[in-house]
Amino acid sequence: MNENLARWIDISVAKHFEPTATGLSLPYYVEGVDERDDEVWEDHVEQRITGPQYREIGNNRYEVTLGINFLFTALMDMAGADSYRLDRWAGKFAEEMIGPVPVYKYGVGVDDDQSFIGCFQLNNTKARGVNIYPFGQLDKDHRVRQSEVDALYYMDYKP
């Protein structure tokens, strides 16, 4: 196992999905990395990761599993802005999440040579795949709607 793997995974996931947000003109935040001003509400997407989890499968080989989810926040506009933009954003990310997510040795440390490590594949079982969870308006006092897209992935890793 490599002590840098979790960091490389986090950075790789962010670099992989950020262009999708940029293409939607949607501010993109990585939970625990990017600072947001809690006083300023804006449409945005926040990347969250659960894991990685490691399971040795023999001869210094590991199965690495990872949950990736995106929380979308849309301000409700009385002026009739695109009421379905939350659905469009979730749909675009869900489409991107179906494909593999490559992992590279990103960073600025000695071991961070940008080389390819492997690809996370979607855990596309009958009970899983990519899921969209529309939460709707948060409460009656705040004109904010949220939705989430999430999926589970796996990757074989040999250090």
Average pLDDT on 17-32 reads 94
Check whether 58 has a pLDDT greater than 70. yes
pLDDT recorded at residue 80? 63
> In whole angstroms, what is the distance from residue 46 CA to residue 61 CA?
32
Number of residues written out for the chain: 159
> Quick one: pLDDT at residue 82?
76
Mean pLDDT of 109-123: 94
The boundaries of the domain holding residue 50 are 5-157
DSSP bridge partners of 47: 30, 70
pLDDT for 135 beyond 90: no
Rounded Cα distance between 71 and 49, Å, is: 11
Percent of the chain exceeding pLDDT 70 equals: 91
Give me the pLDDT at residue 51, please: 93
H or E stretch covering 16: helix 5-23
We report the CATH number of the domain holding residue 69 as 3.30.2000.20
**Tally of structural domains, the chain:** 1
Per residue in 146-158, pLDDT tens? 899 999 999 999 9
